Amino acid sequence: MKSLLIPFLLLTATIPGPASAQGKGHALKIRQLTKDAFVFTTWQDIKGQPYPSNGMYVVTKAGVVMIDTPWDTSQFQPLLDSIRTRHKARVVMCLATHWHDDRTNGLTYYRGQGIRTYTTLMTDVLSDKNGNARAEFLVTKDTGFVVGGVRFELFYPGVGHTPDNIVVWFGATRTLYGGCFLKSLEAEDMGNLANADIYAWVNSIRKVRTRFGKAVFVVPGHLAWGGDGLLDHTLDLIREEVERRKEEDEEND
């Protein structure tokens, strides 16, 4: 693994992609978010029902930046093929926003295709510990990137959904990619809390709201995207979970 200590990195190379592969399972879905940003969705069956997982990619003059990978392993190559067909461009960078497999599943595959893969050092430690895919390049602190004239920022707000979750901010379009740190307005509860700290999450959300509270587009890890209302909705769901636990503790006393 290679650590990055430079706060801003300029990427200009493009990497050839491999031959096409046929995807299986639920169809890959790609929807346009802004002029150059697109949300892609793949699925896994949870309790016998398909459940969606979002990632995002941004088209730049130097190639495509992918944030998180398909959850469905059969969609790794079809996503690359779709990007090449639609944009006549290749993916040059892929970063994962925390260690769970709905974010990291494709890192090994994409690294094998010559794509530069990134996570934070904390994500790499947790991925290694849990047997998940790991990236080639490790980010050791909040870092800005410039790829093909598009600037974006990785920000670690603190513990939330996982100890290592980060968000990604595109200032020019005021787009916040929250991943699983943020919940869609469609979400009625906090979902998977296996590695979460529900109490620390409150302060972490506040940090994001202070820093990026004027976001126009906010993309969660699952279900529909929206505006900055997703920050308040996530905070409301956290408070409901805290209250539920408090009542449960009182009943058990």
Amino acid, single-letter form, for residue 99: W
Q: How far apart are CA 10 and CA 20, in angstroms?
A: 29
Domain of 129, in residue numbers: 2-178
Residue 8 has pLDDT above 60, yes or no: no
Q: Do 144 and 150 touch, CB atoms closer than 8 A?
A: no
**Helix 229-252 and helix 198-212, axial crossing angle in degrees, nearest 10:** 160
Amino acid, single-letter form, for residue 79: L
Residue 6 has pLDDT above 70, yes or no: no
Q: What is the pLDDT of residues 96-132, one digit of tens each?
A: 999 999 999 999 999 999 999 999 999 999 999 999 9
Q: Is residue 57 in a domain?
A: yes
Q: What is the pLDDT of residue 25?
A: 53
Q: How far apart are CA 99 and CA 110, in angstroms?
A: 16
Q: Is residue 112 in a domain?
A: yes
Active site residue 98: yes
User: Exposed (0-12), middle (13-18) or buried (19+): which is 23, by Cβ within 10 Å?
Assistant: buried
Active site residue 192: yes
Residue 141 has pLDDT above 60, yes or no: yes
26, 68, 100, 101: the catalytic one is 100
Query: Among 106, 183, 122, which residue's Cα sits nearest to residue 156?
Result: 122
Token pair for 63? 């190639």
Q: Is residue 197 in a domain?
A: no
Q: What is the pLDDT of residue 213?
A: 83
Q: State the DSSP code for 34.
A: S
Q: What is the pLDDT of residue 182?
A: 98
Q: Is residue 34 in a domain?
A: yes
Query: Among 117, 217, 229, which residue's Cα sits nearest to residue 169?
Result: 217
Q: What is the pLDDT of residues 199-214, one digit of tens each?
A: 999 999 999 999 998 9
Q: Is residue 58 in a domain?
A: yes
Residue 226 has pLDDT above 90, yes or no: yes
Question: What is the separation of C-alpha 27 from the centre of its chain, rounded to a whole number of angstroms?
Answer: 20
User: Exposed (0-12), middle (13-18) or buried (19+): which is 136, by Cβ within 10 Å?
Assistant: middle
161, 222, 228, 233: the catalytic one is 161
Residue 38 has pLDDT above 80, yes or no: yes
Q: Is residue 199 in a domain?
A: no
Mean pLDDT of the chain: 91
SS3 211: helix
Residue 240 phi, psi (nearest 5): -65, -40
Q: Is residue 42 in a domain?
A: yes
Q: How far apart are CA 178 and CA 173, in angstroms?
A: 15
Active site residue 105: no
User: Domain containing 11 — which CATH number?
Assistant: 3.60.15.10
How many structural domains does the chain have?
Answer: 1
Active site residue 26: no
| pTM confidence score | 0.90
98, 101, 164, 165: the catalytic one is 98
68, 72, 81, 102: the catalytic one is 102
Q: What is the pLDDT of residues 76-97, one digit of tens each?
A: 999 999 999 999 999 999 999 9
More confident residue, 252 or 11: 252
Q: Is residue 239 in a domain?
A: no
87, 192, 195, 197: the catalytic one is 192
Helix then strand count (H, E) for the chain reads 6, 14
Query: Among 155, 198, 202, 203, which residue's Cα sits nearest to residue 179?
Result: 155
